[in-house]
Structure 1
Amino acid sequence: MATSRKKTTDAADSSTADNASAVAEFEKSLESLETLVQRMEEGELSLDDSLAAYERG
């Protein structure tokens, strides 16, 4: 019985770690996007840079 509890706990810990990693990655991507939009709105990016950012996603 203790073994199955351990496996369940390990799976939950792994899921929590994966979720935290995904949230951190999302926040980093959102910050990059906000910076990019700000630079575009202020006219800091050339057309080539804007297109490169678009292609990057």
Structure 2
Amino acid sequence: MTTQKHYSFQRFTHRFAMMRSVSAFLSIGLHRLDTVVLKLAKANTPSQNWSACP
């Protein structure tokens, strides 16, 4: 990709993400995804005692 094409794609992506409906969807979706990842990470910890971890 040339620099101009890269810049055009980046500009388009930014404009698309900054639309109100897309921003609202991303904020809700990413918040839910973050909650799921946090629950999975807590479920996979060997112990809640962090002093036992190396």
What is the TM-score normalised by the length of structure 1?
0.46
Bigger helix share: 1
The answer to which structure, 1 or 2, has the higher relative contact order (CA under 8 A, 6+ apart) is: 1
Larger Rg: 1 or 2?
1
